[in-house]
Amino acid sequence: MTVLSVPDLLAAARPGALAAFNVVALEHAEAIAAAAVAAKRPAVLQISENTVRYHGGLGPLARACLAVAADSPAALTVHLDHATSHELIRQAADLGIRSVMYDGSALPYADNVDSTAAIARWCRDHGVFLEAELGAIGGKDGAHTPGVRTDPDEAVAFVAATGVDALAVAVGSSHAMHTRDARLDDELIARLAAKVPVPLVL
């Protein structure tokens, strides 16, 4: 099967969610593809900026993931996750990755808007699906308090100002969870889903 676009995968995943899994080595990509076949579900093979640093570059793992996705009968795509530089996103696109996440969440809000809008314009011109982040996701810095979660009105304004295709939101989920103390804020998720006009990413 050819590598699918994120909008196609989102449609294939309905009424459920589209699951994305981190790939650190080729064997992870192969296992995720096999699981997607067995489960008869679409999936995203995602490569994080941390993994790019670990390998010393994006090229070899990106090409391997694209080959696994193209050869699998499952509906798959490859996604660059948590890129903090525009250059890495351009590199990913040059390699054939058509879904990326720009993470400007550590920047002040106005700077996040400006930087995200700039890369969003570039992505639109190059046929790349762009996810961005607003709020502080737990786990990296232990942020789980309601005060650092994504505000629905701010999220609507952010999407309108940047033109992103999807938005990662802070709703109590956690990266690299070692304890079972994360609690999703279902009420906040419902408010975000009702207001934000693009897919939400947890």
Between 86-95 and 59-71, two packed helices, what is the crossing angle to 10 degrees? 40
At residue 141, the 3 state secondary structure works out as: coil
As given in the structure block, the two tokens for residue 28 are: 């992870």
Q: Which of 8, 71, 81, 151 is catalytic?
A: 81
Active site residue 81: yes
40 CB-contact burial (10 Å; exposed 0-12 / middle 13-18 / buried 19+): exposed
Q: Which long-range contacts (CB under 8 A, 24 or more apart) does 121-125 make?
A: 121/163, 122/86, 122/89, 122/90, 123/89, 123/93, 123/165, 124/163
Catalytic residues: 81
